[in-house]
Structure 1
Amino acid sequence: MSDWAKPLLRTAGLRLCVLPVSAGLALLTAAITFQSAGVAAFGLITMVAQLQLALPFADLGMGAAVTRAVARAEQSPQERRHAAALIRRTATLLAALGIASATGAACAGAAGVWSSWFVLPPELATDFDVVASTVLVMFFLGLPFGLSERILVGQDRASLLVVLGLILGIANVSVAATVAALGLPPMWLAAGLPVGSAVFLAVCTATALKRWGRLGWGDTYTVPVGTILWGGLPVVLAAAGTVLAEQHGRFVLAQVAAPEIVSEYALGLSLYMPVYSILYMSSAVLWPRFARSLDSRLWRQSNTALLLLGLGAAGGYLVFARPLSGLVSGGEMVLPWPVVICFCLVFIAQSGHLVQENLLTDVWGFKRQAVMSMMLLLVVVPLTGLGVALGAGAAAPAISLTCGVVIAQVIPGRILARRVLQHGVPTVDPFEQLAERKAHADA
């Protein structure tokens, strides 16, 4: 078996094994939210709860270079020293950015900015700004700790993230049950994921640094902030564009559709995300391998493997989404077939791009990914609005996302991947260039 296939299958298999537990926790949380807040409030509560999940890594994407550096750290002592310097500098930058952003989020909540954007049910209006600000403040203050996920992926330990991810579900259902039992305002049901994320990142940080060892904060070797910002900005745009496109349905529907339609889509998305994580976490094992070597055979085989996983995920969603939605909502809301089928198509479309997402991970590649992500966002938002106007309802965001991923990511991503595999990256990565200059200077 190929050296990449075993960890990919291990990660996918492990995620599949823990899926019943994580999905069960998510569904139990959804059931508590339905019972405590009602159908109309469910979509808005989950939207606020998952604001911090708007990026797949809790570092705003600024730490992407850390994964490449950690993956190459064992090649030489100089590479390891460079990786440690990059971790230190990026963590410091994220801490400063997090404090500033948390302050801004708190001020926006105090001014009532968040509640002014949506039509809120009366039972949510009073606490909406406070809870939304709390969620965002906790997210921003945790930015430097989000680098621990990057380190674990670079250490080829993506499968460990799958297991640790259960912390999110356990904390979420615990907080939801506590809020319901104490009779607190229903908006506080959204506080579970921020609490779970804080615990999750603390455990990830301890686990990652236990293997890595000391970061050498007294070492004079450093990485210029400008290099991190220049290399990190495309990553931020790429990650933000893609994930906002995935999550845009909540915001668009909250603006133009009835609360019941928002809740219907939110329920479908809450069933989609745990299954999609099988594909996402499985593909993450390819990142360190492509960082070390651009292998055409690996690219072809992994694309086939991810497509098969995508078809399997779509089949599972097709079978279980409707009965599970009825179970969670107590029979009040069963996902319509158009919504289910459209989410199945999203699985297949996403599986066609995930390999390229883990191949194009140098600065040149992320610049191209950023363009593709922005194009994706520009495609899906108007398509969703058009779909709602034509009566597609909760199915509109899913079908627009399917079309957008194929047009803006799958097709151009494969063209770029072929170019890189055949001719190499046309520019020198600034992080690798910096490491080489430091090595020559030390020599």
Structure 2
Amino acid sequence: MGVPHPSNDLSLGGGPSPVAATVPPARTPSGTGGAPGPRFRGAVTRSLGARAVTLPISAVTNLALAHTVVGAVGVPGYAQFALVATLPAVLPLTDLGAGAAITEAVAHDTSHEQQLVRGTVLSSARNLMCAGAVIAVTGVTLALLGMWDALLGQAAQPSCDLTVAIASLLFGCSMPLGLSRSVLLAVNRNDIAFLLQGAGSVLLLALVLLAASLGAPTGAFVCAVFLSQCLVNAAGGVLAGRILGMPLLRTTLGSLRASACKDRAPIAGLALPMTVVTAATAVAYATDRLVLSHTADAAAVAGYSAGAQFFAPASSLLGAAGLPLWAVFARQRRSPGAPRRELARFTGCFAAGGLVVGVAIVLLGPLAGTWMMHGRIQVETSLMAAFAALLFVQALACPATMWSTDAAGLRFQAIAFSLMAAVNLAVSIPLARLGAQGPVIGSVAAYTAFVLVPTVFRAFRRT
């Protein structure tokens, strides 16, 4: 499963995303509807190749980004930077399930006019436009009331109200533009989405270096995150529109017109359970920094963020590797004879891969993370071991969660992830007393008990 990062892959999220949040290539113009053929294998190769290329770029730029921010505004400034930059991950919105709805529409709409696809895009864009407006208004209102200082806790810095207000406006604008990611995944061009993420990381680093050279305050570094996200999403909208054969940006901006209402298509059937899963994941993982900010101090938030810089790209690569399983299992569910052996084989492969990458995180993370913090924060081996354990249980569950992507399976996942989120938040608060690794340990326990075990059991019982 993927990671819920901002669209330019800042790798500050630090928490896994459910498989259900990733859109499957059900049947696209690339020819993935039947048995896996050369075009399907080519799409998978492009996807994994693009992710393999962008991950090292993102990893290097993220290390340089954190090193630059800490050098410019210190550990407390970096703590606010990391906290505010990942606040959008706390919101249970993402794409509001638009990816699933657009993928289904692309899979079923074979007409030249693309009425179903256009209607689905209009509905999705309207929902995201409204959600973005609500976020922008809410962020600015809380800033005018002077409430962000109390909400951010120990990580708050002077002028944080103005910083978050501007960030809220930029993020509100980027939400409907982010529809381009859903379209690229729906037409089986997630390789372009990954390349855009890599370009976004480079753009963000350039903006951060510019801010550092000008001696800018912490707020400038935070706003750079959301400005780069807007620019990357806009570029993605142009590319996705050309591939889809539809003016995506113009369609998105025109979705609020009254004349567009008659063309909209219903999307709640698939979008709702995915939104629930996304919301549960956001509560479970994106609140870790808030918990640490209120129960520990800014140093704990900064240490957690440093460890997340290594975990998030690894989890993202796992998501890219697991994406093709959705289409494979979707076909096999319709075939006579249950592929228990295939499911077991994929589970073993993913578990082995998660173990190998987890060991690398434990060995390299403490040294590189401490350098990233200029030696002011010691990134402990225990923190990296906790992140490695979280990656392993996520990898072990990946094939089973990919198998459970039919309607009934998505509803089951929505319940499982909701229970996991509630328990994770409850146990993370007392565990935060252990330090930065406390919430991660809580995540491992909650994910294992409420997602890994029941989902794997259900998948193998139904094969």
TM-score range, shorter chain: 0.7 to 0.9
Q: State yes or no: 1:250 paired with 2:250.
A: no
Q: For the Cα contact (< 8 Å) 1:101–1:140, is it kept in 2?
A: yes
Aligned to 1:37: 73
Q: State yes or no: 1:343 paired with 2:382.
A: no
Could you tell me how far 1:211 is from its partner in structure 2? 1.5
Aligned to 1:277: 316
Aligned to 1:140: 172
Instruction: Please tell me the residue identity of whatever aligns with 1:200.
Output: V
Aligned to 1:372: 416
Could you tell me how far 1:56 is from its partner in structure 2? 10
Q: Within 5 A, what are the aligned runs for 1:181-330?
A: 181-214=213-246, 222-224=263-265, 227-229=266-268, 231-290=270-329, 294=333, 297=339, 299-330=343-374
CA distance in 2, matches of 1:57, 1:306: 28
Instruction: Please tell me the residue identity of whatever aligns with 1:336.
Output: E
Could you tell me how far 1:166 is from its partner in structure 2? 1.2
Q: Within 5 A, what are the aligned runs for 1:338-417?
A: 338-389=382-433, 392-417=434-459
Could you tell me how far 1:230 is from its partner in structure 2? 5.6
Distance 1:182 1:219, change over 3 A: closer
Q: For the Cα contact (< 8 Å) 2:329–2:402, is it kept in 1?
A: yes
CA distance in 2, matches of 1:168, 1:56: 23
Could you tell me how far 1:111 is from its partner in structure 2? 1.2
Distance 1:105 1:56, change over 3 A: closer
Q: Within 5 A, what are the aligned runs for 1:62-73?
A: 62-73=98-109
Could you tell me how far 1:135 is from its partner in structure 2? 2.1
Could you tell me how far 1:364 is from its partner in structure 2? 3.8
SS in 1 for 2:287: helix
Could you tell me how far 1:35 is from its partner in structure 2? 0.9
Could you tell me how far 1:288 is from its partner in structure 2? 4.5
**What TM-score, normalized to structure 2?**
0.80
Cα RMSD between the aligned structures? 2.9
Q: For the Cα contact (< 8 Å) 2:92–2:279, is it kept in 1?
A: no
CA distance in 1, matches of 2:368, 2:93: 28
Could you tell me how far 1:213 is from its partner in structure 2? 0.6
Instruction: Please tell me the residue identity of whatever aligns with 1:21.
Output: I
Q: For the Cα contact (< 8 Å) 2:95–2:178, is it kept in 1?
A: yes
Q: State yes or no: 1:89 paired with 2:123.
A: yes
Distance 1:207 1:289, change over 3 A: farther
Aligned to 1:105: 139
Distance 1:358 1:14, change over 3 A: same
Gaps of 5+ in 2: 1-34, 252-258
CA distance in 1, matches of 2:212, 2:283: 30
**What TM-score, normalized to structure 1?**
0.83
Instruction: Please tell me the residue identity of whatever aligns with 1:398.
Output: V
Could you tell me how far 1:195 is from its partner in structure 2? 1.6
Aligned to 2:7: none
CA distance in 2, matches of 1:260, 1:400: 20
Q: For the Cα contact (< 8 Å) 1:67–1:151, is it kept in 2?
A: yes
CA distance in 1, matches of 2:371, 2:405: 41
CA distance in 2, matches of 1:338, 1:243: 24
- Which is further off, 196-205 or 285-294? 285-294
Distance 1:11 1:365, change over 3 A: same
Aligned to 1:435: none
Deviations 1:253-300, CA, capped at 9 Å, x for gaps: 011002211211111112211222111222233345555663654644
SS in 2 for 1:112: coil
Gaps of 5+ in 1: 423-443
Q: For the Cα contact (< 8 Å) 1:65–1:362, is it kept in 2?
A: no
Deviations 1:42-65, CA, capped at 9 Å, x for gaps: 222211012234579842434422
CA distance in 2, matches of 1:160, 1:215: 17
Distance 1:315 1:79, change over 3 A: farther
Distance 1:131 1:285, change over 3 A: farther
SS in 2 for 1:285: helix
